[in-house]
Amino acid sequence: MEQLLQQIINGISLGSIYALIALGYTMVYGIIKLINFAHSDVYMLGAYIGYFCMTKLNLGFLPSLVIAMILCTIVGVTIEKVAYKPLRNSTRIAVLITAIGVSLFIEYVTMAIAGANVRSYPPMTGLMAESFNIGSINITMQQLITLGITILLMVLLQFIVKKTRIGKAMRAVSLDQDAAMLMGINVNSTISFTFALGSALAGAAGIMVGVYYNSINPLMGMLPGLKAFVAAVFGGIGIIPGAMIGGYFIGIIEVLVSGYGNSMYRDGVVFAILILVLIIKPTGLLGKNIREKV
């Protein structure tokens, strides 16, 4: 029982990261029906920016987090303006291929600049290095902080999407771009804003992974990116609460497979879930069947 609880705690901290990345996938998909493969590389850049802030500028965790989020926002919006906006009226496959191209571009430029080596974050001190036990269950402050920041960011995101003007615009554009434009909504700036939000969350996930696991490399985004994508599909792609639930679900499943089954099947199980979801309920857990009107 205690082992199960401990495993679930492990799973929740892993799931927080997937959920943060999945949110970016799902928002972008919701608004322009594009699977933004470059998203996982924005997450990687977040980790590298955090590394740079902490080792070269000697900043603390929170200022580094804020800087990483801001810079990732700029990167995300730049990607959208340079790579996707000129293709707004092209076929979806053209944009998808471009997304893969951008992803490879970011990975290998980072490799050329920062080197292919694994880098490690500086050791955490003070509060960040603490851990405590409840019974025989061990919880580290880093796990709590990761979870706390994730929940805070998700609440903030829900508030922006549901309660603000720009959030209303986002929802309108995702429902029907042309109609939104006719209503006087600036579609381009709304799409940019969506990319900005998603990239900021990915940047936050990147730096938290760096601090939590202490190891970053230019290709670190690939596998978490794919799993976050599975999480987004599981929850229903395009639906924000779905991405959160999907992220936590995938994180916990992964840990339980390693913990009670065989750790070698961990990734296999995650992708088997993707296949099952696509066969049984392609719209995902929270997805609704929308009938095409003729």
Partner 1 sequence: MKRIISIFLVLVLTLTLFAGCGSKANENEIRIGINYELSGDVASYGQASVEGIELAIEEVNKAGGINGKLIKPIKYDNKSDHSTATTLATKLMTQDKVVAVLGPATSGAFKATIPEAIKNKVPVASGSATDDSVTVDENGVKEYAFRICFTDSFQGTAMANYALKNMSATKAAVLMDSSSDYGKGLAKNFTDTFEAGGGKVVASEAFVAGDTDFNAILTKIKGNDFDVIFISGYYNEAGLIIKQARAQGINTPILGPDGFGAPELVELAGADALNDVYFSSHFSVLDKDPSVSGFIESFKAKYGKEPDQFAALGYDLAMFVIDGIKRAGSTDPVAIKDALAATKDFVGVTGSFSMDENHNPVKAVVVVGIENGVHATSERVEQ
What is the C-alpha to C-alpha distance for residues 240 and 56, in angstroms, rounded to an integer? 36
Phi-psi label, residue 23: left if phi above 0, alpha if psi -120 to 50, beta otherwise: alpha
R_g over Cα of the chain: 19
Determine if 213 is a binding residue for partner 1 (CB under 8 A).
Answer: yes
CB 134 within 8 Å of CB 144? no
> Cβ atoms within 10 A of the Cβ of 236, count?
24
Q: Which window, 6-14, 24-32, 233-241, 285-293, contacts partner 1 (CB under 8 A)?
A: 6-14
Query: Among candidates 35, 63, 30, which has minimal Cα distance to 49?
Result: 63
Q: How far is the CB of 248 from partner 1 (least distance, A)?
A: 15
Site for partner 1 in 92-131 (CB under 8 A): 118, 120, 123, 131
Hey, which residues does 137 pair with through a beta bridge?
Answer: 134
Q: Which window, 93-101, 167-175, 251-259, 274-282, contacts partner 1 (CB under 8 A)?
A: 251-259
Main-chain dihedrals φ then ψ at residue 139, nearest 5 degrees? -125, 130
Q: How far is the CB of 99 from partner 1 (least distance, A)?
A: 23
- Measured from the CB atom, the residue of 22 and 255 that comes closer to partner 1 is 255
Site track for partner 1 across 171-190, x = CB under 8 A: --------------------
Site residues (CB under 8 A) for partner 1? 3, 6-7, 10-11, 13-14, 118, 120, 123, 131, 133, 138, 140, 209, 213-215, 220, 223, 254-256, 258-260, 262-264, 266
